Chain A
Amino acid sequence: MKNKVKEERNSLNLTQTDLAEQIGVSRQTVHAIESGRFVPSTILALKIARLFKLPVETVFELEATD
């Protein structure tokens, strides 16, 4: 799964720590999501999308191999 979490976070001038605090996870989890190693749950993905004020499909995108 691809995501645009890092781009959207940077566009809002948020650090990984800021984003982590706002969605209730650790900074390491945000890093893992941005690097594509960890796929968040539906709730967490919705929280991230809501914070960015974007549809969840815009932030997270399925790849052909998914």
Chain B
Amino acid sequence: MNFLSPFPMSGYYTKVAGMGIAIIGLLLIAWVQISGQPINRIEFNFEKQATFGIWIFTVGLYLMAFSKEKVDDERVQRIRQVALRSSFQILVGVFLAAQITSLLVKTAEIDFSIIPVTFTLVFYHLIFYVALIRNPEWAYKEVTVTENFRMNKKFYLIYTLALVVVIATIAWIKYFNN
């Protein structure tokens, strides 16, 4: 099998699409906040449509963050690494400070869970130390999803078939055996 990256990035056009989605999310947030009224044609299971706007905005940012630049050279990759590490560091720091404040100060109850941050840190350590010890090729090469697929078509075909079989089996057990 050719070099297979478990963590491929998206291409530049996904970044552009992400920017568009993030702008739509911002507009939705602005609309709901300014007008004070939900967009009635959209019906979702969200308590507030501003929350849905924030979700769309976050999806856009997610697509932008993990897509390549137009010219994705080594300088860009190094800057990306610093930016991601720093923002993750800030996030974990803020969550740790907020959670301990919530635990120690009775009047400062902040309703959130630190568990997603904990899991993210666990994943970070897993990936970091696996790469450090095993020295895999994917740790040194950033490929896009398209490149990854092109290099490993057979793997993706088998993986997709296996996934379909597993999902179909679970669905059969859950829904047709009841």
Contact bitstring B56-95, A, C-beta under 8 A = 1, else 0: 0000000000000101011110100000000000000000
- Report B161 CB to chain A, min CB distance, Å: 38
- Report B90 CB to chain A, min CB distance, Å: 23
CB contacts (< 8 Å) of B78 on chain A: these are 38
Count class of interface residues, chain A: 10 to 19
Number of B positions contacting A (CB below 8 A): 7
CB contacts (< 8 Å) of A32 on chain B: these are 75
Report whether over half of chain B's contact residues are helix, strand or loop; otherwise say mixed.
Answer: helix
Q: A26–B74 contact, CB under 8 A?
A: no
CB contacts (< 8 Å) of B69 on chain A: these are 26
> A22-37: which residues lie under 8 A (CB-CB) from chain B?
24-26, 28-29, 32
CB contacts (< 8 Å) of A38 on chain B: these are 75, 78
CB contacts (< 8 Å) of B76 on chain A: these are 26, 29
- Report A33 CB to chain B, min CB distance, Å: 8
Q: Which of these, A20, A28, A41, contacts B74 with CB under 8 Å?
A: A41
- Pick from A20, A25, A40 the residue with the most CB of B within 10 Å: A25
19 contacts between A and B (CB under 8 A): A20-B71, A24-B71, A25-B71, A25-B73, A26-B71, A26-B73, A26-B76, A28-B75, A29-B71, A29-B73, A29-B74, A29-B75, A29-B76, A32-B75, A38-B75, A38-B78, A40-B74, A41-B74, A44-B74
